[in-house]
Structure 1
Amino acid sequence: MQTIWLTEAEWFAILRIGLGLWWLESWRHKDKKDWFAGGGIRWASGIADKHRWPFVRRGFDLVVKPRPRLMAYIVAYAELALGLGLVVGFLTPIALTASLVLSLIYLVLMIHDWAEQGQNLMMALISAVGLFGASWRSWALDDTFGLFLQ
């Protein structure tokens, strides 16, 4: 259906690409030397240690704390992969689902710091809209190669 200027599918693609650019910026702005040395995980550990919800502290202690270097690489390269996948529209439903999950993890971890919540909430919302709006139907490698159902 044609809307103002673009089709619905193209508007959803714009949301998807914008979200991808947001993930790429998250990757770009990291001080990689400090991040991969554990700086980001130490910062997150300080937040998790004081978190008001015990399940967040326990989960962080169980999954992240024992493997800070590995988790630093997983987080950084997940952001890069999400950004690239969403911008070019490759494996888009998988990227959008992962984007939604990662955004919600960030949201829950940072729940007491409302300064961060706008970004995390909007990234989660755009991920859900892009997923349920099938944003891979336009301007995407998935559409070009017919990887997912319309």
Structure 2
Amino acid sequence: MQTIWLTGAEWLAVLRIGLGLWWLESWRHKDKKGWFERGTGIAWAKSVADEHRWSFVQGGFTAVVAPRPKLMAYIVVYAELALGLGLTVGLLTPVALVGGLLLNLLYLVLMIHDWAEQGQNAMMALISLVALFAMSWQAWSLDNLWGLFL
């Protein structure tokens, strides 16, 4: 269906690419030396989990993240890079959209406190959901070019 300037599939690709660029910006602005060498990102997350209103968050952090902080720092930082690249070029798009949705939901739950900015995570999760169910890889994507996920 042709809409103003672009087709519906192309507008969905714009949404997907914008989300990918958002993830790339999240990766770009991270202090990687701080995350990898000093553990600043994981230390901050620990301080949030320790004071979280839901006990399962602290328990989950203690069981999963605390025993392996360096590994988790690499996972978080490079997950954001992988999501950004995958969504921007449209490679394994459904996988990237589900991964991004899960990561944003994890961020939402971790930072549920009133002081945390939740608009970005909520909007990124919503865009992931819309882009997934609307099959945003149908235009301007390597998935479409290679005939994946038809």
TM-score (normalizing by structure 1): 0.97
**Residue in structure 1 matched with residue 16 of structure 2 by the alignment:** 16
Amino acid across the alignment from 2:29: H
Q: Given the superposition, is the C-alpha separation of residues 71 and 113 from structure 1 closer, same or farther in structure 2, using an over 3 Å criterion?
A: farther
**Residue in structure 2 matched with residue 3 of structure 1 by the alignment:** 3
- Residue identity over aligned pairs, in percent, reads 74
Matched, 1:32 2:23: no
Rounded to whole Å, the distance in 2 between the matches of 1:78 and 1:134 is: 21
Deviation at 1:116, TM superposition (A): 1.6
Amino acid across the alignment from 1:2: Q
* Deviation string, structure 1 residues 70-104 (Cα, Å, up to 9, x no partner): 00000000000000000000000000000000000
**1:92-131 → structure 2 map (5 Å cutoff):** 92-131=93-132
**Ranges in structure 1 where 5+ consecutive residues have no aligned partner:** none
**Residue in structure 2 matched with residue 70 of structure 1 by the alignment:** 71
Rounded to whole Å, the distance in 2 between the matches of 1:108 and 1:19 is: 20
Amino acid across the alignment from 1:131: L
Deviation at 1:113, TM superposition (A): 3.9
Q: Given the superposition, is the C-alpha separation of residues 132 and 114 from structure 1 closer, same or farther in structure 2, using an over 3 Å criterion?
A: farther
Rounded to whole Å, the distance in 2 between the matches of 1:115 and 1:70 is: 25
* Deviation string, structure 1 residues 1-27 (Cα, Å, up to 9, x no partner): 111111110111011000000000011
Rounded to whole Å, the distance in 2 between the matches of 1:105 and 1:64 is: 13
Runs of 4+ in structure 1 deviating by more than 3 angstroms, as ranges, are none
**Ranges in structure 2 where 5+ consecutive residues have no aligned partner:** none
Q: Given the superposition, is the C-alpha separation of residues 3 and 114 from structure 1 closer, same or farther in structure 2, using an over 3 Å criterion?
A: farther
Rounded to whole Å, the distance in 2 between the matches of 1:129 and 1:114 is: 27
TM-score (normalizing by structure 2): 0.97
**Residue in structure 1 matched with residue 135 of structure 2 by the alignment:** 134
